[in-house]
């Protein structure tokens, strides 16, 4: 043992002497080692951190969303029955999933001023599926009597001079009535048309258009966000623009108050780690029902969750272990 200790001390002393005699070579070698380790560790750390942020902030970034439409002009539009079948198909393997459908009607809304807006015939699941934020009141209940409506904040400002934080919705009502050529009219007070449906205002939500992040996962204040989104739309991997999602002038009503009509959009919220598998299940379910679905997910998350990057992480761990041994 004393001899082994002496050999170790001599080896360390000799190595230190060599390092000191060739200082610049030592600095360059150490710098090379640091750069090599950084180049191996940094990309994997950034990737893992981005993935974790995408999961932790799924509701904000939209990494939990699947959006479904159908080919324009299709003879087999989406229907309410498709919503029910999707809920059944996803229930066993994707327990944290919420399915919602929306049918959107353009409307002229009479208030302080006449504005163009939207009537969204939907369901109670929409608030969870789209992570909508209530500012005042609550979401509507299915089958309520009188029928209930939830409106977006910019529209509430136009109609009621609504102030953020106010909970006074007592006695506030809207009326809606079908106009010509499948258009709709809506308004408050004044003269209510004889065939109009009266709706009780029970909630105000923040406009989804106020988010700084698009449904595709791009920060909309970034310089090239619109360019990238335009390219993705051109090649068919991003949905076309939907003004009702952005302009804050929509009212959300129980679809049971309307005659049966096709579903324009289906939105599905699920575990971000299962988005790819859930998308395949959604596609297979709808194709089996004779639909031609267009399925969109968050573009940023699709890249972060790709199997190729999983392979990179495995190789990274192997090479890092080999480097550490050497």
Q: Decide the pairing of beta strands 65-70 and 293-297.
A: antiparallel
Report yes or no on 54 lying in a domain.
yes
The predicted model gives 76-96 an average pLDDT of: 92
For 45, the domain range is 14-97+270-326
CA distances from 32 to 43, 204, 276 (A): 17, 59, 40
Report yes or no on 75 lying in a domain.
yes
Pick from 43-57, 66-80, 204-218: least confident = 43-57
Could you give the CA distance from residue 102 to residue 181 in angstroms, rounded to a whole number?
20
Does a cis peptide bond (omega within 30 degrees of 0) precede residue 146?
yes
Report yes or no on 326 lying in a domain.
yes
Report yes or no on 169 lying in a domain.
no
The helix (H) or strand (E) run that includes residue 314 is helix 307-325
| pLDDT tens per residue, range 310-323 | 555 555 555 555 55
Backbone phi, psi, residue 118, to 5°: -140, 140
Is the pLDDT confidence value at 80 over 90? Answer: yes
Q: In this predicted structure, what is the pLDDT of residue 84?
A: 94
Give helix 307-325 / helix 23-56 axis angle, nearest 10°: 150
Is the pLDDT confidence value at 302 over 80? Answer: no
Report yes or no on 129 lying in a domain.
no
| pLDDT tens per residue, range 239-273 | 556 778 888 899 999 999 988 889 999 999 988 88
Radius of gyration of the chain (CA): 28
**Greater model confidence, 165 or 17:** 17
Q: In this predicted structure, what is the pLDDT of residue 315?
A: 52
Q: In this predicted structure, what is the pLDDT of residue 216?
A: 47
Q: Where are the beta strands (DSSP E) in 71-221?
A: 98-110, 114-122, 134-137, 148-152, 173-178, 184-187, 197-205
Cα angle 126, 103, 174 (rounded to 5 degrees) comes to: 80
Is the pLDDT confidence value at 137 over 80? Answer: yes
Q: In this predicted structure, what is the pLDDT of residue 246?
A: 80
Is the pLDDT confidence value at 57 over 50? Answer: yes
Is residue 148 very low, low, confident or very high in pLDDT (cuts 50, 70, 90)?
Answer: very high
Report yes or no on 220 lying in a domain.
no
| pLDDT tens per residue, range 159-210 | 876 655 555 666 788 999 988 777 899 988 767 888 889 999 999 998 876 5
Could you give the CA distance from residue 296 to residue 267 in angstroms, rounded to a whole number?
10
Nearest C-alpha neighbor of 293 from the set 126, 62, 89, 60? 89
The predicted model gives 91-106 an average pLDDT of: 92
CB 138 within 8 A of CB 145: no
Q: In this predicted structure, what is the pLDDT of residue 238?
A: 52
Could you give the CA distance from residue 270 to residue 274 in angstroms, rounded to a whole number?
7
Q: In this predicted structure, what is the pLDDT of residue 229?
A: 54
Report yes or no on 243 lying in a domain.
no
Is the pLDDT confidence value at 81 over 90? Answer: yes
Report yes or no on 27 lying in a domain.
yes
Percentage of the chain exceeding pLDDT 90: 30
Percentage of the chain exceeding pLDDT 70: 63
Of the spans 90-94, 120-124, 247-251, 275-279, which averages the highest pLDDT?
120-124
Could you give the CA distance from residue 309 to residue 326 in angstroms, rounded to a whole number?
25
Q: Decide the pairing of beta strands 184-187 and 265-269.
A: unpaired
Backbone phi, psi, residue 45, to 5°: -65, -45
- CA dihedral (209, 154, 269, 295) positive or negative: negative
Could you give the CA distance from residue 72 to residue 294 in angstroms, rounded to a whole number?
10
Q: In this predicted structure, what is the pLDDT of residue 88?
A: 94
Q: In this predicted structure, what is the pLDDT of residue 24?
A: 74
Could you give the CA distance from residue 66 to residue 139 in angstroms, rounded to a whole number?
22
Is the pLDDT confidence value at 4 over 90? Answer: no
Is the pLDDT confidence value at 235 over 50? Answer: no
pLDDT mean across residues, the chain: 77
HEC readout, 218-273: CECCCCCHHHHHHHHHHCCCCCCCCHHHHCCCEEEEEHHHCCCCCECEEEEECCHH
Give the total number of structural domains in the chain. Answer: 1
How far the first Cα of the chain sits from its last, in Å, is 27
């Amino acid at each position: 043992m004393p001899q082994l200790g002496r050999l170790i001390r001599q080896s360390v002393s000799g190595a230190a002497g060599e390092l000191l005699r060739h200082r610049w070579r030592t600095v360059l070698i150490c710098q090379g080692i640091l750069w090599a380790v950084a180049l191996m560790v940094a990309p994997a750390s950034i990737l893992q951190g981005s993935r974790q942020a995408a999961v932790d902030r799924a509701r904000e970034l939209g990494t939990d969303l699947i959006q479904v439409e159908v080919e324009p002009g299709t003879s087999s539009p989406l229907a309410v029955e498709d919503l029910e079948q999707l809920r059944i198909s996803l229930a066993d393997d994707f327990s944290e999933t919420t399915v919602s459908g929306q049918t959107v009607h353009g409307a002229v809304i009479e208030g302080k001023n006449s504005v163009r807006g939207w009537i969204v015939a939907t369901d109670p699941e929409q608030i969870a599926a789209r992570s909508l934020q209530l500012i005042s009141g609550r979401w509507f209940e299915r089958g309520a009597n009188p029928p209930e409506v939830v409106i977006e904040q910019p529209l509430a400002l136009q109609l009621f001079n609504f102030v953020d934080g106010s909970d006074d919705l007592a006695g506030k009502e809207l009326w809606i009535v079908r106009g010509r050529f499948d258009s709709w009219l809506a308004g408050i007070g004044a003269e209510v048309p004889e065939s109009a449906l009266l709706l009780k205002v029970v909630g105000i939500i923040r406009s989804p258009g106020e988010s700084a992040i698009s449904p595709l996962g791009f920060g909309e204040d970034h310089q090239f966000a619109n360019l990238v989104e335009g390219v993705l739309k051109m090649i068919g991997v991003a949905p076309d623009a939907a003004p009702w999602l952005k302009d804050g002038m929509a009212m959300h009503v129980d679809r049971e108050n309307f005659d049966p009509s096709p579903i324009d959009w289906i939105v599905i919220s699920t575990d971000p780690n299962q988005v790819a598998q859930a998308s395949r299940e959604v596609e297979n379910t709808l194709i089996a029902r004779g639909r031609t679905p267009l399925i969109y997910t968050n573009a940023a998350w699709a890249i972060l969750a790709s199997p190729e990057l999983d392979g990179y992480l495995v190789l990274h761990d192997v090479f890092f272990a080999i480097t550490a041994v050497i």
